[in-house]
Amino acid sequence: MASFSRGRDEADFSAERAPACEAARIPAADVDARRTGDPQGASSARPGASVRLSGPPAPIPGRSGFQDLRDRGRRANDPVVRVHFAPAKEDEAAVYVSYAVSRKIGGAVVRNLWRRRLRSIAAEAAADLAPGAYLLSLNPEVRSLSFTELRERVITTMRRATGERR
């Protein structure tokens, strides 16, 4: 029989199973017990087409929207902003806006910054714009503009592209 010396870090543990003890008490969730459900009932999974109430306009849907821009679109230019516009078909009343920000503007972080600015401007102006598809693109000179100057130029150029004079 071999003898083993025990170090200071070793301890004897029993191989027997510990006796069952009382179940652990888990506290109740931190909720308002008086309000058990929604008085209007659960919402349906897909009630129909989604409706945009606010926020930026939806992007141009699919290739057909860009095809319309190319085939029957109008353009308006500013030294910094270019807008392509295709009027909505008779049964549509939506405003769609997409953005083209090239690498000449800067790296990905800088381009995303300019896209966010354009998205903010489009969201602000969407209610006053003619229905249709808009494609906004920027020139590198945009880096010298403040947000207020950019907003003025974008809105003016979008209106010129639709043929509206304000």
- The one-digit pLDDT tens for each residue of the chain (166 residues) are 555 555 566 667 667 777 777 776 766 666 555 655 555 655 555 566 555 555 678 888 888 888 888 888 899 999 999 999 988 888 878 889 999 999 999 999 999 999 999 999 999 988 888 898 999 999 999 999 999 999 999 999 999 998 876 5
- How do the domains of the chain map onto residue ranges? 76-162
How far apart, in Å, are the Cα atoms of 156 and each of 62, 84, 159, 161?
Answer: 27, 13, 5, 9
pTM of model > 0.85:
no
Which CATH number applies to 76-162? 3.30.230.10
Kind and range of the H or E element at 134?
strand 132-138
